[in-house]
A and B are shown apart, each in its own frame.
Chain A
Amino acid sequence: MAQVSITVNGRQRTADVEPRLLLVHFLREHLNLTGTHVGCDTSQCGACTVLLDGRSAKSCTLFAVQADGSEVTTIEGLADGDRLHPLQEGFWEEHGLQCGYCTPGMIMSAVNLLHDNPQPTEQEIRDGLDGNLCRCTGYQHIVNAVQHAAERTNRG
């Protein structure tokens, strides 16, 4: 067992974990933050994407012990109280989700994308989401959702 201390959605969480415990399972099973999903076992799908110290990361590809001392933001920590994040608004407004399984990871990747590039072109959005798979939407409404959020954020 190894002790980890990770700040998740602003709250410090300390636990004894198996060294092989994946970060995604730490979030889901130890902290009951089940908004972060698992869609594959080879780091392809991005359903598990969270922010690790402000950058998007696939939480299935890290051990919890590797995140020791870090700050993690999950989908549950994105809204500001009752106020949705502009990307959450965008996904809702533009029908950027169907089954919703890819959605938390997709949104977290998009947060990273808009942080780096607040006014992306369509191609830049598609490139930025290349590590996240969605089987339902065909991505077009997801692109619209990110554009919606970008416009709204830039308008202030």
Chain B
Amino acid sequence: MTAPAVLPKLVGQRVRRREDPRLIQGRGTYVDDVTIAGLQHLAFKRSDIPHGRILSIDTSAAEALDGVEAIFTGAQIAEFLGPMPVPTPFPAPEHRAVAADVVRYVGDPVAVVVARDRYLARDAADAITVDCEPLPAVVDPEAALSGQPAVLHADFPNNVAVGPLPAGTGVGRGGQVDDSAVDGAFAEAEVVVSQRMVNQRLAPTAIEPRGVVAHFEPGKETLTIWSSTQNPHILRTHVAALTGLGQDQVRAIAPEVGGGFGAKINIYGEDLVAAAVSKRLGLPVKWVEDRSEAFLATIHGRGIIGYVDIAARRDGRVLGLKLRLVADIGAYNMLLTAVVPTQTMRMANGTYAFPVVRATLTEVFTNKTPTDAYRGAGRPEAAYFVERAMDMLAREIGMDPAELRRRNFIQPHQFPYKTQVGALYDSGDYEKALDRALEKAGWEQLKAERDAARADGRLVGLGLSMYVEICGLGPSARLPNGGWEYSQVTVERDGRISATTGVSPHGQGNETTFAQMLADQFGVPLEHIRIHHGDTAVVKQGIGTFGSRSQAVGGAALHLAGGKVKTKMAKFAAALLEAHEGDLVFENGRIAVAGAPAAGKTFAEVAAYAHRPVKLPAGLEPGLSEEAFFEPPNNTYPFGCHIALLEVDRDTGEPRLLRMVAVDDAGNLINPLIVEGQIHGGLTQGIGQALVEEVVYGDDGQPLTGSLMDYAIPRATDFPRFELDNTVTPTPVNPLGAKGVGEAGTIGSTPCIVSAAVDALGGFGVRHIDMLLRPEKLWRIIHGGNA
């Protein structure tokens, strides 16, 4: 008997996704596809002014419509639904899912309609009239700091939500500040570059808007909630708490989720209202956001001003960096609103061994949609401020921007490296990533091409940026709901494998990557493995998908659970084979003594024995199912280098990206095809921030980007083919050596594009251009107008 061919190892392979067959045939079930007999539809009446006191709400015309089941104003909702959860350590004003007395941004809900169908619900919401006494709108976050023209929340004088909060060199544990080292570094400097920069507000814009179906079943006293969420377990926790149910009575399901990008981490008022209304009425209800509504009702990202000062010697040695941040967080604290800008402080060192760093953060309430996590969540902002500062410094001292970086890197032998602002970088080799990117881009030749193009009168520029970011969120001390991840692995009676994971993928492809891992771990075909996720009744515990944690935390939990099952299975196999478990190999769906594969047992045989152990081996319980919680000891810190070549049209001011090179180091990779997809998507959003996207409010607090007609996201024609490469620096933080990759592309690309534009227009005397790089803005620089 000849041994069967050995199954190929799958980790590291470009395996096509197991999610795709259903999605390419229109067979996925997204939340709006969920139907239940008797389903009612919700529509929210929202404030159309940014700030005002509610005087009266007239719902009579709406109530008269045939098919309207109920209408609740904010005051009525408050009778059976408590304030929104804000579990961050910072103080937060009370936030009602539906405003009862004061509205604080355009889009703030004031009433909710329950009706037979979605068109009717909208008709009824439109028929509600709200009488509001307008209050002055707070729009400019810096002006707001003097309490002008109004104060949003009485308990927060001068609209200060958080801060000023210092971090970095000379800042003690209790927040006491000693400026001597920072002042000394700046006094020693031969050159200081200072710049105010705006990292503008963005709308996350997952193509599937948010949505929820809530179904309270009075007979069973249970509530099932389907939501377009990145973290059903956290949703369950908060829904249970706010509806007065136990967590055992609530089942949260994240069905197919059409993108999240951080915006679907939050616990939104609409989900809580749906749950509470369903419980109140004993009816299933559905709410699906309109796109235009999403621009008001779903969190925004970024929205932070940075004042950067960088001190250096003329030889390129940086002596210190100061970063003063003013975050425009909008009207309320959502789940992580206050935390996101602290991540910008935390990454103020970038990839550099700056001897002194001081960051200071103030968060300000304004009459706008709240901000919260959007892909990168604090790290893109940090990379932007630091890398733009490095670029300005390079121009100031006339040094190649790559060379300036090289002279200031944290060196490989310095890891783990504790930065001045307190982050503990796990591992890194920044110079390697820089060199790989320079080589891939052909840096020296590119410079020559740029110069030749300029000699022809073209406005061509080169931009380079490094980045380092935070992935693998946890640990638990850093996240309000815990930072571990959970997995259960079961070898079924027929020898096939079911696994559950607490991460909740919505495009990341974990049904594929996690199956690849188990296939290798157990030596079984991919087809024999199924990964379950996104349902709290199936996955016993979990945290969710955000902060690039799927692989680094969720994958690690899976690996540990798999290891436990494998150990147990080996014991059963050893008993069957009368062999020593240490001599067994798992290969080709069989367990056998090493060197004698033919005499082994199939998975099905061992599994059948484990589930009917006629003679139970001593010390074993029946069955082959084990679980694991993985608590990461630290975050991972992936890094990379991005290079852009960009041309600005002299006549129209239109910027055109010509080349984009990205070298990313995410540690060990499970599926390079999926990793590339993540980087492509991230790059597109990062470049999008520089070139096409901006949430705009008028001086009166009215949003001017209220639909996809006014807010642009990148289209297929906007950018060229991306050129990717990677280096591999494994992390010691988890057993896989994987760092995470979901956000990387969004972080390095943005400053790189702006630096390329500044390089292209350097001849006109600019050294910084605030995003968004609108053609009009660039045209004014070229043609001498006011930028």
Give the interface of A toward B (CB within 8 A). 18, 20-21, 28, 32-42, 44-45, 47, 74-76, 78-79, 84, 88, 91-93, 95, 97-104, 107, 122, 125-127, 129-130, 132-143
Q: Does B16 contact A (CB under 8 A)?
A: yes
Asked if B680 and A135 sit within 8 Å, CB to CB, the answer is no
C-alpha spacing A133/B261, complex, angstroms:
15
The 4 closest A-B pairs by CB, nearest first: A35-B26, A101-B258, A100-B23, A138-B680
Given A42-B292, A45-B207, A133-B715, is A100 in contact with B258 using a C-beta cutoff of 8 Å? yes
Q: Which residue of A lies closest to B118 (CB)?
A: A25
Asked if A97 and B713 sit within 8 Å, CB to CB, the answer is no
A-B contact pairs, 28 of them (CB 8 A): A20-B119, A32-B35, A33-B26, A34-B26, A37-B207, A40-B708, A42-B709, A45-B291, A45-B708, A78-B25, A84-B24, A84-B25, A92-B20, A98-B678, A99-B206, A99-B257, A99-B506, A100-B19, A101-B30, A101-B206, A129-B716, A134-B716, A136-B677, A137-B681, A138-B683, A139-B715, A140-B680, A141-B677
Asked if A95 and B673 sit within 8 Å, CB to CB, the answer is yes
Q: Which residue of A lies closest to B23 (CB)?
A: A100
Asked if A104 and B26 sit within 8 Å, CB to CB, the answer is yes
Minimum CB–CB distance for B784 against chain A, Å? 34
Asked if B16 and A99 sit within 8 Å, CB to CB, the answer is no
Chain B facing A: main interface SS: loop
B291 interface neighbour in A40, A79, A104, A132, Cβ under 8 Å? A40
Asked if A136 and B507 sit within 8 Å, CB to CB, the answer is yes
Cβ contacts under 8 Å, A126 to chain B? 716-717
Cβ contacts under 8 Å, B676 to chain A? 95, 141
Q: Does B173 contact A (CB under 8 A)?
A: no
Asked if B713 and A133 sit within 8 Å, CB to CB, the answer is yes
Asked if A122 and B721 sit within 8 Å, CB to CB, the answer is yes
Asked if A103 and B716 sit within 8 Å, CB to CB, the answer is no
A100 interface neighbour in B28, B708, B715, Cβ under 8 Å? B28
B24 interface neighbour in A33, A42, A107, A141, Cβ under 8 Å? A107
Asked if A88 and B707 sit within 8 Å, CB to CB, the answer is no
Q: Does B205 contact A (CB under 8 A)?
A: yes
Given A18-B119, A99-B207, is A34 in contact with B29 using a C-beta cutoff of 8 Å? yes
> Which residues 208-249 of B sit at the A interface, judged by CB distance below 8 A?
208-209
Asked if A93 and B16 sit within 8 Å, CB to CB, the answer is yes
Asked if B680 and A42 sit within 8 Å, CB to CB, the answer is no
C-alpha spacing A35/B25, complex, angstroms:
7
A97 interface neighbour in B24, B35, B673, Cβ under 8 Å? B24
A-B CB contacts (within 8 Å), total count:
176
Q: Which residue of A lies closest to B512 (CB)?
A: A95
Contact with A along B107-141 (1 / 0, CB 8 A): 00000000000010000000000000000000000
> Which residues 239-268 of B sit at the A interface, judged by CB distance below 8 A?
256-259, 261
Asked if B206 and A34 sit within 8 Å, CB to CB, the answer is no
Q: Does B731 contact A (CB under 8 A)?
A: no
Of the candidates A47, A127, A136, A140, the one having the most CB atoms from chain B within 10 angstroms of its own CB is A136
Asked if B17 and A92 sit within 8 Å, CB to CB, the answer is yes
C-alpha spacing A103/B25, complex, angstroms:
9
Cβ contacts under 8 Å, A39 to chain B? 207-209, 258, 291
Asked if B259 and A101 sit within 8 Å, CB to CB, the answer is yes
Asked if B207 and A137 sit within 8 Å, CB to CB, the answer is no
Contact with A along B182-210 (1 / 0, CB 8 A): 00000000000000000000000111110
C-alpha spacing A49/B285, complex, angstroms:
27
Q: Which residue of A lies closest to B709 (CB)?
A: A42
Asked if A127 and B717 sit within 8 Å, CB to CB, the answer is yes
C-alpha spacing A97/B681, complex, angstroms:
11
Asked if B681 and A138 sit within 8 Å, CB to CB, the answer is yes
Cβ contacts under 8 Å, B678 to chain A? 98
Cβ contacts under 8 Å, A98 to chain B? 259, 507-509, 677-678, 681
C-alpha spacing A39/B228, complex, angstroms:
13
Cβ contacts under 8 Å, A20 to chain B? 119
Cβ contacts under 8 Å, B685 to chain A? 135
C-alpha spacing A134/B258, complex, angstroms:
10
Asked if A92 and B16 sit within 8 Å, CB to CB, the answer is yes
Minimum CB–CB distance for A64 against chain B, Å? 12
> Which residues 14-50 of B sit at the A interface, judged by CB distance below 8 A?
16-17, 19-21, 23-30, 32-33, 35
Minimum CB–CB distance for B254 against chain A, Å? 12
A37 interface neighbour in B19, B208, B680, B681, Cβ under 8 Å? B208
B716 interface neighbour in A95, A107, A139, Cβ under 8 Å? A139
Asked if A75 and B25 sit within 8 Å, CB to CB, the answer is yes
Q: Which residue of A lies closest to B206 (CB)?
A: A135
Asked if A137 and B24 sit within 8 Å, CB to CB, the answer is no
C-alpha spacing A95/B13, complex, angstroms:
13
C-alpha spacing A29/B691, complex, angstroms:
38
A101 interface neighbour in B17, B207, B290, Cβ under 8 Å? B207
Q: Does B722 contact A (CB under 8 A)?
A: yes
Asked if A103 and B23 sit within 8 Å, CB to CB, the answer is yes
Contact with A along B254-293 (1 / 0, CB 8 A): 0011110100000000000000000000000000001110
Asked if A142 and B716 sit within 8 Å, CB to CB, the answer is yes
Q: Does B489 contact A (CB under 8 A)?
A: no
